[in-house]
Structure 1
């Protein structure tokens, strides 16, 4: 008996990369939802490496945080390529750091509230901002839509440009990575591979982007 599910993709690669270098990255300031642009031309070497790593990968769908630094990163990485129209989505934004946005660790390190937030590994909300659970709620809603569309449209490779905190939370939830080990550098990210099982998609593996060693897609 024919089963329509046999025609569905059984594997989905979701590549989530962090935006390139900004002035606030260099100054080690919390950016959060602040719309900080890339620091150009200083950001370009990392962006070039990411573009080279993804040059031969055809993406079925492209998603991007709506903040300027991610839009600029996407434009650089996919410059001159035919691609699906990008979807700019506020759910891919960085954690909202609230009162900490624009501040540095050096300025905050003696604040009891800040120390409590750090010690909680983000589970407490920042004052006026979000908790890790708040961040995951919007990321998981986005990811569920990506997976649903993959089944309906036959997508096999999806690109998303996001932020360091968002990727760290994805790694914590999908890889069981330690909070402090989940950080990726500017213009770096992860390739999350999902496989379709009886009860839906599950993350079966994850790898660095750009790959630390040669890898086949």
Structure 2
């Protein structure tokens, strides 16, 4: 059995303003976000993976000081296209934004990724990380990534299925997951044990 922790990064200035902070926005943690990460007793992990964006690398370095991390480009947040860096107030009155809202987030982001494209990319990154774990016989791992990345992975793999937006988490929240390695190797790529952690290190 392999145990993993999917952890959303700490708060950023864009998060505090309710902005679409995606793949194109490489901002750092806010002072509040840095403070969030201090004095945390994190779950044990044999290996730590992160998105390459600063907010994730910075969070991982604060949660797991003196540990090397492995960055995986495919785990980056969604490309929000023309919505990138804006919040709902700034997008109010934008016809393309209203169309996206009316679709309940199923339409592609104009000039960015569709949910399907984003999910496919995230799964590829997740599979690469799991293969690395299995090759090195790691039994525990942590992924410090983005809220959208977590939603994409769990929406695709958890049995029984739950809808995409049901997997939303706040900054520094996440999920503890377990994977049966032999079943995974045999082609049954699913996650059957998931527990939400308000603070994954508690």
TM-score band (shorter)? 0.7 to 0.9
Q: 1:212 to 1:37 in 2, by over 3 A?
A: closer
Once the two structures are superposed, the pairs formed by residues 58-97 of structure 1 within 5 Å of their partners are 59-80=45-66, 83=67, 85-97=68-80
1:36 to 27, 31, 35: 27
> Where does residue 194 of structure 2 map in the other structure?
206
Tell me whether 1:190 sits opposite 2:190 in the alignment: no
Secondary structure of 2:149 counterpart: helix
TM-score, with length taken from structure 1: 0.81
Indicate conservation of the 8 Å contact 1:32/1:94, yes or no.
yes
Q: 1:116 to 1:13 in 2, by over 3 A?
A: farther
Give me the whole-angstrom Cα distance separating, in 2, the residues matched to 1:24 and 1:14: 27
Figure out how many residues of one structure are paired with residues of the other and give that number.
196
Alignment gaps of 5+ in structure 2: none
Give me the whole-angstrom Cα distance separating, in 2, the residues matched to 1:145 and 1:202: 15
Once the two structures are superposed, the pairs formed by residues 1-217 of structure 1 within 5 Å of their partners are 11-33=1-23, 34-40=25-31, 42-48=32-38, 51-54=40-43, 57=44, 59-80=45-66, 83=67, 85-175=68-158, 176-195=161-180, 196-197=182-183, 198-210=186-198
Secondary structure of 1:52 counterpart: coil
Across the aligned residues of Structure 1 and Structure 2, the Cα RMSD in angstroms comes to 2.2
Indicate conservation of the 8 Å contact 2:74/2:125, yes or no.
yes
Indicate conservation of the 8 Å contact 1:46/1:186, yes or no.
no
Give me the whole-angstrom Cα distance separating, in 1, the residues matched to 2:196 and 2:53: 23
Q: Could you give the per-residue CA deviations for residues 61-114 of structure 1, whole angstroms, max 9, x where no partner exists?
A: 21111111111101100124xx4x311122111111011011111222433321
